[in-house]
Structure 1
Amino acid sequence: MTPKYQQRCIVTGGAGFIGSHITERLLAANHAVTVIDNCSTGRVENIAHLQNDENLTFFNTDIRDRAAITSYFAGVDWVFHLAALGDIVPSINMPDAYFSSNVDGTYNVLEASRNAGARRLIYAASSSSYGIPDIYPTPETAEMRPQYPYALTKWLAEELVMHWGLVYGLPVVALRLFNTYGPRSRTSGAYGAVFGVFLAQLIAEEPFTVVGDGTQTRDFTFVTDVAKAFISAADSEVTNICMNVGSGGTYSINRLVELLDNPAGVVHIPKRPGEPDCTFADVSQIKEKLNWSPTVPFEDGVQVMLDNIDYWREAPVWNAKSIADATREWFKYLDKHDEASS
C-alpha cells in the first residue's frame, strides 16, 4: 500500500512569512505537515489556500507551552523551527518576551524533538547575530556580535540547537538567514523590515522613509530560495553545522527605492546605531554542502512584491514622526552602546 505521505514534518511558525512557504513546498512534495503557530505574528490567511490538503494539520499553540506542544511531535521525522518574535526594534522594549519566545521556546522545541526521536531539526538562525562584521562577504566563522536583544536571543537559541546536536545526538542544522523578503512578509503593527514599510507607504501615496542616505546595502534573499534551503538541509545527511543563506549579492536601499518607483518620493530619517552599513553572506559553504544556490534575481523578486502589493493594504503606514516614536528607546540604549564601544 502506498503511504499517504513521505515524511512527517513539523513547522513551528508555519503560518508566518517563511514558515508558510516551507509548509506550502512540503505539502507540494507530498509530506505531512503539522503547523504550530500562536499567530502572534503569523496569519492563518497565509496557509488558508492549503486548508483542504489532508496532509496539513494546524495547531494554534504557543511553543512556550511545552506541555501543550509535546504530543504534537509523536512520530515526527523533520522539524523546521521558525517560531520566534522576529521584529528587531521592539526587542529593545520587550527583552523578556523575546527571551521567553526565542530562547525558552527553542528549548521546548528541542526537548520535544529529542524525546520524539526526530530525525532532523532545521533551525532558522539570524545573520543579525553577526552584528557589524569585519569581513564581507561574511563567513560562518565570523565573530558573533549581537547588538540588540533580538539578535542575542536568536544566537542563544542557535547555541542551544548546536548543543543539543553535540550532547544528545539530535541531527541539527542552523541556517543563518540574511534579509529574507517576498510575499507574506509580516504586516504586524511593529516597525520592521524595509519592504513592508515601503509597500504600505506606496499604497498610501506617502513618501518612503529612507534611513540615512540610502547607500547602505542588504543581502536581500527571496523567500522561495530560503524555503528551498530549509528543505534541502532536511533532506540531507549534513548535521551539526551552521550555514549562511543569502542571495549571493548585496543591494542598496537606494536601488530598492528606484525599483519601487514611488511618485511621492522619499524623506530621510536618522541612521540607527547598531545597524551595519552592509549585510552580505558568504554562501560558499551551503553551495558546497547542500548543492543549493539562490535563483531569484533581486529585480524579479521586487516585481513579485509589487504584483502582490495588496497584501500590505492593511499594514500600518509609517512616517518620520511615528518611526521616531517607535525607535526612541533604540536610540536611548544603542547610542550609549556605540559610545562605549568606540
Structure 2
Amino acid sequence: MSNVLVTGGAGFIGSHMVDFLIERDNKVRVIDNLISGKPINLLQHKNNKNLILDERDIRDVIANDSIYKELDYIYHFAGIGDIVPSIDKPLEYMSVNTLGTVKVCEGARHNNIKKLVYAASSSCYGLAKVPTDEKAQISTQYPYALSKYLGECSVLHWNKVYGLPVNVIRIFNAYGTRSKTGGSYGAVFGVFLKQKLSNKPFTVVGNGNQKRDFLFVTDVVRAFYKACKTKKVGEIYNLGAGNPQTINYLVKLLKGPVKYIPTRPGEPEVTWADITKIVNELDWKPNVSFEEGVKKILENIEYWKDAPLWDENSIKIATKTWFNNLL
C-alpha cells in the first residue's frame, strides 16, 4: 500500500486516477479547489477511509504542509483545462498551470517523494507534423499551451537541479465519462453531449474532416500509473491512441443532425500521437476502441444534463474576441 497525492483529483482524469489507485488498495489524498472538479466524481468512495479530499488551491499549499507528509507518489493533474479561452485570461492560466506546478514541485522536493508524474499537454506542439513524436518542435499557439509547457519545463528543471524523480506525459485528446460539463465554450464531447440531450444539432467546426487522437480515460490513467512505477526518470511520453478519428465520424457515432460553423485559427487539422516510445518503454497500449469509448459515454450521457447548451450564435458571441491576434 502506497500513500499517493492526486492534484485535481475531483476532475475528469484525476477522479479516474483516484478510482484506479483505490482499486489497488492505495491510500489516496486529493487536493482540488472544486472550481472545475466535482465532489460527485468521487462519490463512489464516500465512505472509504483510504480517501481524503482536501478542498484547496494548489497555489495556497506550502511545501511543509501536512498533505505532503509521508507521501510516496504524486500525480499532478490540477490546472485550468480550457485551451482557447486562455486568450482572455493569460495571467490566470500562468498562475495556476505554471506557478501552481512549481508549488507542487516544491512540496514534492521537500518531502522526498519517490516519483511525480505531470499531466502535460500535446498543445505544446501547435500545428505539428504528424504523427508527432516527443522530439517534435515546440510551437505553442495559445496561452494555455504555453502555461502547460512552462509547467512541464519546471517539472523537468526540478529533476535536473534538485534530483526530483519525475516523468512527463503529454496528453493528446482524452475523453470519457466525467469530462467537462460547464464553464467556457470548449471541449467537443461536452458541447456535443449537451446538444444531443437537448435535441439540437451538433456544432461542428469547419468541414468536420479534422482529426483528433482520442484516447479513453481509463487508458490514460493506466499510462500514468506505468509512468509512475517505471524506474525511468526525467522522461517525456506522448499519449494518444495513435489512431486519429474525424469529427464527422464522432457525430456519426453520436447520431444526430449537424450544423457546420466557421473554422478557428491556430488549431491543428490533425492531432496524431506517435506512441512508439510509451509502448516500447512502458509496455503500454490502448485497450478501449473509439467505438467502445463513445458507447460508454452515451450510456452515461445524463452526466451532462446540467452542462451549458451551445449553438452557432452563442458560440459566435462567446468567442468573438478570442482570435483577433491570431488572424
Which TM-score band (shorter chain)?
over 0.9
**Does 1:146 pair with 2:140?**
yes
**Does 1:184 pair with 2:178?**
yes
Query: Using the alignment, how far apart are the partners of 1:330 and 1:291 within structure 2?
Result: 40
The residue aligned with 1:244 is: 238
Deviations 1:199-233 (A, max 9, x none): 00000001000000000000000000001011111
Deviations 1:120-163 (A, max 9, x none): 000000001100012x1100000110100000000000000011
Query: Using the alignment, how far apart are the partners of 2:18 and 2:173 within structure 1?
Result: 20
Residue number among 194, 200, 214 corresponding to 1:206 in the alignment? 200
Query: Using the alignment, how far apart are the partners of 2:320 and 2:83 within structure 1?
Result: 14
2:166 partner letter: V
**Does 1:222 pair with 2:196?**
no
- Tell me the C-alpha RMSD between the 2 structures: 1.0
The residue aligned with 2:58 is: 63
Query: Using the alignment, how far apart are the partners of 2:7 and 2:125 within structure 1?
Result: 24
In structure 2, list runs of 5 or more residues that go unmatched: none
**Does 1:24 pair with 2:19?**
yes
Residue number among 33, 41, 47 corresponding to 1:38 in the alignment? 33
> Cα–Cα, structure 1 residues 68 and 285, in superposed 2: closer, same or farther, change >3 Å?
closer
Residue number among 94, 107, 113 corresponding to 1:112 in the alignment? 107
Query: Using the alignment, how far apart are the partners of 2:250 and 2:21 within structure 1?
Result: 31
The residue aligned with 1:85 is: 80
2:71 partner letter: V
TM-score relative to the length of structure 2: 0.99
The residue aligned with 1:339 is: none
8 A contact 1:61–1:68 mirrored in 2: no
Query: Using the alignment, how far apart are the partners of 1:68 and 1:325 within structure 2?
Result: 42
Say which SS state the counterpart of residue 75 (structure 2) adopts: strand
**Does 1:166 pair with 2:156?**
no
Query: Using the alignment, how far apart are the partners of 1:110 and 1:329 within structure 2?
Result: 35
1:15 partner letter: A
The residue aligned with 1:300 is: 292
8 A contact 1:63–1:69 mirrored in 2: no
8 A contact 1:15–1:43 mirrored in 2: yes
The residue aligned with 2:2 is: 7
The residue aligned with 2:117 is: 122
8 A contact 2:62–2:107 mirrored in 1: no
Query: Using the alignment, how far apart are the partners of 1:60 and 1:66 within structure 2?
Result: 11
Once the two structures are TM-superposed, the CA of residue 74 in structure 1 deviates from its matched residue by 0.6
2:306 partner letter: E
Query: Using the alignment, how far apart are the partners of 1:19 and 1:268 within structure 2?
Result: 32
Once the two structures are TM-superposed, the CA of residue 66 in structure 1 deviates from its matched residue by 2.9
Once the two structures are TM-superposed, the CA of residue 65 in structure 1 deviates from its matched residue by 0.6
TM-score relative to the length of structure 1: 0.94
Once the two structures are TM-superposed, the CA of residue 69 in structure 1 deviates from its matched residue by 7.8
2:307 partner letter: A
**Does 1:196 pair with 2:190?**
yes
2:146 partner letter: L
Once the two structures are TM-superposed, the CA of residue 248 in structure 1 deviates from its matched residue by 1.9
2:266 partner letter: G
8 A contact 2:63–2:103 mirrored in 1: no
Query: Using the alignment, how far apart are the partners of 2:30 and 2:9 within structure 1?
Result: 5
